A and B are shown apart, each in its own frame.
Chain A
Amino acid sequence: MLNPLNLTLAQASAAIAARELSPVELVDAALERIGAREPEINAFVSVWEEAAREQGREAERDIHHGRYRGPLHGIPVALKDLFDVAGQPTTASSRVRDGHRAEANSAVTDTLLRGGAILMGKTHLHEFAFGLTTPQTRNPLDPQRTAGGSSGGSAAAVAYGGAWAAMGTDTGGSIRVPAALNGLVGFKPTYGLVSRHGVAPLAWSLDHAGPMARTVEDVGLLLQTVMGFDARDPASRKPPAAFDINAQADVQGLRVGIPRNYYFDHVAAPVGAAVRRAAAHLEQQGAVLVEVDIPLADYLIPTQWGLMVAEAASVHAKDIRQSASLYGDDVRTLLEAGQLLPAGDYLKAQRARHLIAQRWGGLFSEIDILLTPTVPQTAARIEQETFTWEDGSQESVTEAYVRLCAPANVTGLPALTVPFGKDHQGLPIGVQIMGKAFDDAKVLQVGRAIEQPLFPLN
């Protein structure tokens, strides 16, 4: 008999299609894991047990009667609690949203339901996605450590088996950071590839929606379902016609950029070493390694901050004036300061982004993908506030976690994290793969060539 928890999404999907496995068994297995781990981990804001069981039975009936809808049919998934589901609250893990109830589904919710996915519930996030730690959620691999953020609940739920995949959002690393810290695959697609209609915003020009799962193939299956043009999202773009996300990995002749600057500065030795091993692995398969200089490296974080703080302040302009005491201290402070930021700072960041994107376009004319660490250090302890680097300097955990992810938000380029080895403490290391705009399929193919998924579940 198959143990569903040992199956990837793709394997479970194949077993369901072959009628060797029932969606009901998957839901039961996920609920059993939720019951066992949730008291300690707190990944979910809400678990829709009865609705999930009913969806499972319905999927079983439909498939039995030949109404198979595709690879997500009967697969339990979770949604970061920024995605609207009609009739349900979208809490954004904030007291500010008390009493909220969504009137309609987000675009992502609709596509998942059309594909037959089973919604297990909503997952916790760092309040309003404005942070990288999700303090209310613990890391299932080591509950004394952070799950990362802001999509920390999504990552934790998938990591312990409460869902086979989850949707997150990423404004400065919020999919990739928790995916890396929990030993998962997380993908921030090209800006505009996945609709954000019905997703509570943090910063419009940096926000992305994207999938998290245990393998690149699983992430690709989820992406294939949720991507596509949506006129309701002003950023939405039509993907290229040929977009075979799950094509077999072939890296022969691929030009892999290895940064000389920025991405290996203040990075823990095991993390840097893992990226270099991943590069060597690609080279052995026929890729060509190209050392590159990261353009305008000193201006990436200033641009990210200028855009994010100003846009988030605008999103929350009304609520921070009316309900400031309902926000958590860290988010309240940033939003209050953001209200006082000069407009010139925002315009400066906007114009800098234009220059940065052009220079990065030049970088990607020399290479096909860029290989880097996802985060400079593995999961921090819950109470930890800073990392101390080899030169004695200190950096806040949040600033460290955003540092290597933010460039893909500023440029809008696709960026994937895949697990690749562990550090001396047994904590997973994430390797980041970035690509050209709308070259998401290639990024995923390279990810498949190097990923080392973590099994069994913890």
Chain B
Amino acid sequence: MTAQNTFPMSTEETLALATSLGLPLASERAPLIAGVLHHIHTVIVRLDELPIDESYPPSFAFDASQENKPC
């Protein structure tokens, strides 16, 4: 199960995912969390439009001076 659905997860899916990750989540909060997660994921998924290939690795050791160089 992942959060990468087009629609928010159901209450049951949200609770199952939370349980699998060791997150205690009251059932009445599940719809709220599912909605917020869906909103965040929907915003981030726009990044799929970018031309990111193998030459753009993650920047775990971010360095503003090194990475702000023209391509």
Residue positions of A touching B, CB distance < 8 A: 190-192, 205, 234-235, 237, 296, 298-299, 301-303, 305-306, 309, 320-321, 324, 333-334, 336-342, 344-345, 347-355, 357-362, 364-365, 411-413, 436-438
Please indicate the chain A residues that have their CB under 8 angstroms from the CB of B29 in the complex. 336
CB distance from B10 to the nearest CB of A (A): 13
Which of under 10, 10 to 19, 20 to 34, or 35 or more describes the interface residues of B? 35 or more
| A-B interface pairs (CB < 8 A), number | 146
CB of A349 within 8 A of CB of B47, answer yes
Taking CB as reference atom, which chain B residue is nearest A359? B71
Docked complex Cα distance between A301 and B47 (Å): 10
CB of A354 within 8 A of CB of B56, answer yes
Known contacts A340-B23, A359-B71; decide if A237 and B63 are in contact (CB<8 Å).
Answer: yes
Q: Of A334, A351, A358, A411, which contacts B71 at CB under 8 A?
A: A358
Docked complex Cα distance between A237 and B61 (Å): 12
CB of B36 within 8 A of CB of A337, answer yes
Docked complex Cα distance between A309 and B24 (Å): 19
CB of B21 within 8 A of CB of A340, answer yes
CB of B33 within 8 A of CB of A340, answer yes
Please indicate the chain B residues that have their CB under 8 angstroms from the CB of A353 in the complex. 59, 62, 67
CB of B59 within 8 A of CB of A333, answer no
Report B55-71 CB contacts with A as 1/0, cut-off 8 Å. 01111111111011111
Docked complex Cα distance between A438 and B62 (Å): 14
Taking CB as reference atom, which chain B residue is nearest A191? B64
Please indicate the chain A residues that have their CB under 8 angstroms from the CB of B70 in the complex. 358, 361-362, 365
CB distance from A358 to the nearest CB of B (A): 4
CB of A354 within 8 A of CB of B58, answer yes
Q: Of B3, B24, B59, which contacts A205 at CB under 8 A?
A: B59
